[in-house]
Amino acid sequence: METKCFNNLCPKDFEIPKLGDPKIPSPLRGVQFVADQDKVLYYSNLREVVCKETWNDHPLCFEMAGPREKIYFDPSKLRCGIVTCGGLCPGVNDVIRAIVLSLFHHYGVETVFGFRYGYEGLSPRYKHKPLELTPTLVSEIHQMGGTILGSSRGPQDVEEMVDTLERMNIGLLFAIGGDGTLKGAHAIWEEIDKRGLKIAVIGVPKTIDNDISFVDKSFGFETAVAESRRVIYSAHVEAVGFRYGIGLVKLMGRESGFIAAHATLANSEVNFCLVPEVPFSLETFLKALEERLMSRNHAVIVVAEGAGQDLMDRPEERDASGNRKFADIGLFLKEKILEYFKSKGIQVNLKYIDPSYTIRSTPANPHDSVFCLLLGHNAVHAGMAGRTDMVVGYWNGEFTHVPIPLAVSRRKQIDPNGRLWSSVLEATGQPTSML
């Protein structure tokens, strides 16, 4: 039978590696078990699916997440590890707590280590002592922002990290982080596989920008949008308080502007939303801003941190993880806006707000807390069943298993011709194109 592929994706791209056949009866009782044949349909665009009856003809499916009746690891002998990497994000502590409590109470795993300061904690050269995680220790950490394990950026020696896992007899490693963290987790799994070790690696996608592909949403995003709404409200109050008042807010979003777009839709006061996916010229933007001020006397601008990078002349630099260091588009726009209106003889009152670190460090809101709990539980279920080299995703209302190579194969971005951006244009009234 011919293998059907769509959008350069084939069924094998969705296959999840396994350490072996699960043979141990699960200690879980009174739960709804998931069978291996349970799948979640993938399709790139709902409009491509003509009717529900044609879904069975679509071969691309995610493995459904959830507890299995048979597990791979013997809980009485299993030792687990957790590592958190990259930037801070609301909900990291919630995920840590959910994983620890699920391991202890659902499966009876008694030894869980937290590796300190990201992948540095797996490298002996930094001498970071692992933190033993117990239900008592994690009982209240979900009420705090940040991560009790600490974080870091940048790669470490893969062989050294696997040496640590082998030396400590770790059978299951949970890596909580974004694109770079997941690539690191995949590299760890490749070394594990090369050595023929029985160690599972499970990722939990952490990106406040919501830019992991094949995952509908990531934790922390809802909290970021909610917190952004308060900031934009303040910017609006400042703007309407003065003739020709301008409120300028910079939000997170290096290469994907989902926070800026959703925060804009949550606040009908926003008049301009600038995101990395939609280029603009300074001249056209400033002219549109002038027209707005002349007609309504005030304006609110939301800009994602990665927008307009082509407008600033700056040598390219990289951080420890190899990510491009972005110039500050917020300060750049502030300066250019003030220069423009000064040259026009128009006195404006501009207030610039950058709440990024305030938002990143806040605890998760209730919606994100629920999401983090379920992500943590499903990560544990996947690991105990012997799955590896995968992340727990969320797709079409269901939790899923996503192979790490698939999740990091591309970056999720706003489609400038899609419905989300069309809604932003409708809500703001800004020009369709500002080039």
| Tokens linked to 49 | 């699916």
> How many Å is the Cα radius of gyration of the chain?
24
Please choose, from the candidates 241, 254, 219, 230, the residue with its C-alpha nearest in 3D space to the C-alpha of residue 411. Answer: 254
Judge contact between 286 and 337, C-beta under 8 A.
yes
Q: Strand 390-395: give its sheet, edge to edge.
A: 39-41, 61-64, 398-403, 390-395, 200-205, 172-177, 79-84, 111-115, 131-132
209 in catalytic set: yes
Phi, psi at 387, each rounded to 5°: -70, 155
Between CA 107 and CA 110 the distance in angstroms is 9
Instruction: Spell 152-191 as b/e; 16+ CB within 10 A means b.
Output: bbbebebeebbbbbeeeebbbbbbbbbbbbbbbbbbbbeb
Q: What is the DSSP string of 340-401?
A: HHHHTT---EEEEE--HHHHHTSPPPHHHHHHHHHHHHHHHHHHHTTB-SEEEEEETTEEEE
3-state SS assignment for residue 15 = coil
The whole-angstrom separation of Cα 401 and Cα 353 is: 39
With H, G, I as helix, E, B as strand and everything else as coil, classify residue 296. helix
* The one catalytic residue among 94, 179, 209, 389: 209
Among all residues, which ones are annotated catalytic?
Answer: 209
